[in-house]
Amino acid sequence: MKTIAPLPLARLDANHTHVEAFKSLAHLSRLQVFFFLVRAGKEMSVGEIQEAVEIPGPTLSHHLDVLRRAGLVESRKEERYIYYSVQREA
């Protein structure tokens, strides 16, 4: 079995964006929402997300905004509906 040498911390390419992403996922509800969107594999409306994760609307909107500002999800508005999906370049 081949042993993999650990990567020295000095060589890790971490930055402030990574810190914000991990901070946003440190809340259980946001982690659940993010995992739901990852598993869905497509954009979902706020109503669909709310039905799946059972988080009240205003609270869900807050959590989605935190995930969006952290660069983990993206949103688009179509008429009265807002759709969210995982930011694949994150």
Question: Is 1 a member of any domain?
Answer: no
Asked whether 30 and 67 are in contact (CB, 8 A), the reply is yes
Predicted model pTM: 0.81
pLDDT, average across residues 58-86: 97
Question: Is 75 a member of any domain?
Answer: yes
Q: 61 is in which domain, residue-wise? A: 18-86
We report the CATH number of the domain holding residue 53 as: 1.10.10.10
Question: Is 82 a member of any domain?
Answer: yes
Q: What CA–CA distance (Å, rounded) separates 5 from 86?
A: 32
Question: Is 12 a member of any domain?
Answer: no
Question: Is 25 a member of any domain?
Answer: yes
pLDDT in the model for residue 68: 97
In the chain, how many domains are there? 1
Model pLDDT for residues 15-61, shown as the tens digit of each residue: 788 888 999 999 999 999 999 999 999 999 999 999 999 999 999 99
Beta pairing partners, 77: 82
